[in-house]
Structure 1
Amino acid sequence: MTKIGRARPEADLEAVRIYDALRRRIFQGHIRPGDELNQVHISQEYGVSRTPVREALRMLQADGLAEARFKYRMTVTQVTAAEVDQIYGLWIASQAVATQIALSRITPADLAACRKVLEKMSRLNGELSTQWRSLHLEFHYILNRPAGEVFCEKMEEYWHRTERARFSLEQTSPSLFGDDRGDHSGLLHAYETQNMKEAQRINTLQLVRSATASISIIDPGYTPVCIQNALEALRIRL
């Protein structure tokens, strides 16, 4: 993840405010898949011009939360098992390459910074809070950063494109993230000891666990072929 949070530095503050509010309402189900995101109504509701609203909608579209329809009408997208499968398949493959590159470049200072973040995460005693999520993003960003900016940007894109599925998962299966939290000390140790196979295995395990659980909620009968092919190509044993 390249940055903590989604706000772009060039984005207007009003656009970011509206984006955050709409995104939260979409995640909580107050705005449902297929609902129209009407620029006029939104601008009236938030007391702003249509310019920041258009920017906010573009940000939602970049996250995969909205799509342009007939006559540029923007609607909330459906969450499909196929989309989750495809994105996680790409993410798993990209993460494996990024891990290999980052492991060869990571510095003692990077590892020390990551250790401090991990200690902060541990002090939260397993609470799946906004603070923990931010620390989690920072933890992985520090480990991925040595791989380069393009890799980090792709990781952030995949993170946001799957965030709505993960939000649903947090509501229905919070214990799943307890397993996820337990992997981080092992992952950091793998980087510290230059154990590439173990680092790739843990990174992949975290992604596969989240992906398969999300897909089982969306469509229990769906076979995640993209994820399966990514694992076969990488030959990573979980």
Structure 2
Amino acid sequence: MTTSGSIHQVQENAVTGGLVVPGARDATDVIHADLRGRILSGDVPAGAGLSQARIAKDHRVSRGPVREAFRLLQREGLIEVEVNQRARVTDLSVDEVEHLYAMRVSNETLALGLSVPRFTAAGLDELDRLVDAVANAEARGFDAWEDQHHRFHMRLVAHVGERMLRSMTQWAEHTRRYRKIYVSREGSGWTLGAREHAELARLCRERNTAATSMLLARHLSRAGLALIASMDPAHEPALLRAAIRQALAAAERTTP
């Protein structure tokens, strides 16, 4: 039987990962990137406790860089900081999932509509390459698949501008830990999603802005709705459905 103490120990071991940053000036960036990556990948689970003292000791730095890394993670909504210099990874929330996918549907379809006319020949070739990379990564497991899948989706909206791209990247990254826990791709609608990647790339090459935007809206909404249903079948995703209707209506208005 596993005790609560041993569970906490396993969680803290997962957090530190044996990374050593002896006195590095960029210690905050390194610690922040390490913790953030582990949280988003699910290696550090929701509810796991984080100790400033423990992390500082394992990274061989003072508590200052760890405290600053915690502040960045808290601002992003990934941890909750307590008064005793400890923190915990935020719980998984169906409301957060719905919010993230509503933001993605609304903004990525808009960004794709702006990007389609701006793709260069090299950019379109890169989309085709990523379609194959996503398909080939499937056999290597979720993490390998997710990395290529994320690159593909961010390439679709690459011409929207740096500031908006940063926001969309964060929203997409935050959905990762939910998908890893709640969605098993084998035998599910995710296989259909893989076929849609190739169709999205083809429509981009044809410069068909309306059809591409509508397909992306359906592609993202299917993923979001499936994820919400797997977390809480009784949850009514009114916000996400409104975002879907708005995105589809906007795409239809661009149809020649």
Quick one: structure 1 residues 198 and 62, their matched pair in 2 at CA, closer, same or farther if it must change by over 3 Å?
A: farther
Question: Distance between the aligned counterparts of 1:54 and 1:136, measured in 2?
Answer: 32
Question: Distance between the aligned counterparts of 1:146 and 1:220, measured in 2?
Answer: 36
Contact 1:64 1:161 in 2 (8 A): no
Gaps of 5+ in 1: 1-9
Q: Which residue of 2 aligns with 1:189?
A: 202
Contact 1:63 1:160 in 2 (8 A): no
Contact 2:40 2:176 in 1 (8 A): no
Q: CA deviation at 1:119?
A: 3.0
Gaps of 5+ in 2: 1-25, 252-256
5 Å matches for 1:149-168? Answer: 149-168=162-181
Q: 1:16 and 2:29 equivalent?
A: no
Q: 1:138 and 2:161 equivalent?
A: no
Q: CA deviation at 1:98?
A: 0.4
- Of the structure 1 ranges 137-146 and 186-195, higher mean CA displacement relative to structure 2 is found in 137-146
Give the alignment partner of residue 201 of structure 1, picking from 203, 207, 214: 214
Question: Distance between the aligned counterparts of 1:134 and 1:32, measured in 2?
Answer: 21
Q: How large is the RMSD of aligned CA atoms in angstroms? A: 2.7
Larger Cα-atom Rg:
2
TM-score when normalising by structure 1 = 0.79
Q: Matched residue of 1:12: which SS?
A: helix
Contact 2:228 2:235 in 1 (8 A): yes
TM-score when normalising by structure 2 = 0.74
5 Å matches for 1:85-124? Answer: 85-124=98-137
Q: Report % sequence identity.
A: 23
Quick one: structure 1 residues 168 and 110, their matched pair in 2 at CA, closer, same or farther if it must change by over 3 Å?
A: same
Question: Distance between the aligned counterparts of 1:23 and 1:230, measured in 2?
Answer: 24
Quick one: structure 1 residues 228 and 111, their matched pair in 2 at CA, closer, same or farther if it must change by over 3 Å?
A: same
Quick one: structure 1 residues 116 and 22, their matched pair in 2 at CA, closer, same or farther if it must change by over 3 Å?
A: closer
Q: CA deviation at 1:198?
A: 2.1
| Larger RCO (CA under 8 A, 6+ residues apart) | 1
Q: Which residue of 2 aligns with 1:78?
A: 91
Q: Matched residue of 1:222: which SS?
A: coil
Q: Which digits, 9 at most, give the CA deviation of each residue in 1:57-82, with x for residues without a partner? A: 34533553212344665222111111
Q: How many residues align?
A: 223
Question: Distance between the aligned counterparts of 2:138 and 2:38, measured in 1?
Answer: 29
Contact 1:105 1:147 in 2 (8 A): no
Give the alignment partner of residue 229 of structure 2, picking from 204, 216, 220: 216
Q: 1:226 and 2:239 equivalent?
A: yes
Q: Which digits, 9 at most, give the CA deviation of each residue in 1:152-176, with x for residues without a partner? A: 1121111122222111134x44434
Quick one: structure 1 residues 127 and 181, their matched pair in 2 at CA, closer, same or farther if it must change by over 3 Å?
A: farther
Quick one: structure 1 residues 12 and 131, their matched pair in 2 at CA, closer, same or farther if it must change by over 3 Å?
A: same
